[in-house]
């Protein structure tokens, strides 16, 4: 069945906006057909379309169940701002891999500008990725910050990891299954300056290598997120 995001209205669910346009004009679904609807909660609903009006489809709930494909840990990606196609790719993969939040930030070697990546567009990419990977909670796209802002949030996590091509993986990754709140920091196309690396380490972050080869920023993000998600049993 096709998947959509909607909103609750009494005992019914409404499909509006871009989701309605996709339902009516792209997929051309009809009254009587069943769909799966998420409300950005841990539950998903099997619904029957009962009415298609001007700008809204009304659905009757036929079944409710907890979605088992949502992340079980709070893993947050702090991603240095990259060029638009790369950053959009990273947001899509972060959603599929199971990140709870994506925080763009400016670092010393960023080539792109924050304004290249519109929050509304990134949210749309995350929402569509949720439907593809069948999770029902859309990761938060946070307001862009800087390195100081990233470090200021270290206190919210049990462990903070940052991708660094000049270090070993180390033993501390073996404890990830025990951690509930994990932060991942990945650089942009230019990586991190030595000063930024020192700041992260001084603030308590753990430096993590992704192998002996130099990776593109989008490859590094996917590798880092996958590594942490698997080792933490997310």
Q: Is there a single domain that holds both residue 41 and residue 110?
A: no
Q: Is there a single domain that holds both residue 122 and residue 197?
A: yes
pTM for this entry: 0.92
138-165 average pLDDT score: 95
Helix, strand, coil shares, percent, the chain, to 5 = 35, 30, 35
Q: Is there a single domain that holds both residue 223 and residue 156?
A: yes
Q: Is there a single domain that holds both residue 29 and residue 136?
A: no
117-146 average pLDDT score: 95
Q: Is there a single domain that holds both residue 96 and residue 48?
A: no
Say yes or no to pLDDT of 168 above 60: no
Q: Is there a single domain that holds both residue 31 and residue 136?
A: no
Structural domain boundaries, residue 53: 3-66
Residue 23: which CATH number? Answer: 2.40.240.20
Q: Is there a single domain that holds both residue 105 and residue 52?
A: no
92-119 average pLDDT score: 92
* Mean pLDDT across the chain: 93
Q: Is there a single domain that holds both residue 89 and residue 163?
A: yes
Q: How confident is the model at residue 172 (pLDDT cuts 50, 70, 90)?
A: low
Q: What percent of the chain has pLDDT over 70?
A: 97
163-169 average pLDDT score: 68
Q: Is there a single domain that holds both residue 199 and residue 88?
A: yes
Considering its fold, how many domains does the chain have in total?
Answer: 2
95-112 average pLDDT score: 95
Q: How far apart are CA 192 and CA 9, in angstroms?
A: 48
Find out whether 43 and 68 touch, Cβ atoms under 8 Å: no
Q: What are phi and psi of 116, to 5 degrees?
A: -70, -25
Q: Is there a single domain that holds both residue 50 and residue 83?
A: no
74-87 average pLDDT score: 96
What is the pLDDT at residue 233? Answer: 87
Find out whether 40 and 138 touch, Cβ atoms under 8 Å: yes
Q: What are phi and psi of 165, to 5 degrees?
A: -70, -5
Q: Is there a single domain that holds both residue 203 and residue 92?
A: yes
Say yes or no to pLDDT of 171 above 60: no
């Amino acid at each position: 069945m096709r998947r959509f995001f909607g909103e609750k209205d009494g005992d019914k669910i409404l499909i509006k906006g871009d989701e309605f346009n996709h339902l009516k004009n792209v997929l051309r679904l009809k009254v009587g057909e069943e769909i799966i609807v998420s409300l950005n909660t841990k539950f998903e609903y099997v619904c029957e379309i009962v009415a298609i009006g001007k700008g809204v489809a009304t659905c009757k709930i036929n079944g409710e169940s907890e979605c088992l494909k949502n992340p079980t840990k709070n893993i947050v990606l702090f991603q240095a701002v990259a060029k638009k196609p790369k950053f959009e790719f990273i947001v899509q993969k972060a959603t599929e891999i199971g990140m709870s939040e994506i925080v763009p930030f400016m670092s010393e070697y960023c080539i792109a500008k924050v304004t290249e990546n519109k929050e509304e567009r990134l949210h749309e990419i995350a929402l569509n990725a949720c439907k593809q990977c069948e999770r029902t909670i859309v990761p938060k796209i946070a307001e862009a910050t800087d390195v100081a802002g990233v470090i200021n949030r270290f206190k919210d996590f049990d462990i903070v990891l940052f991708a660094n091509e000049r270090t070993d993986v180390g033993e501390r990754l073996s404890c990830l299954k025990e951690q509930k709140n994990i932060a991942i920091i990945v650089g942009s196309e230019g990586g991190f300056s030595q000063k930024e690396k020192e700041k992260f380490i001084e603030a308590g972050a753990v430096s993590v290598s992704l192998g002996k080869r130099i990776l593109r920023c989008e490859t590094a993000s996917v590798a880092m997120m996958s590594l942490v998600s698997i080792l933490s049993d997310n």
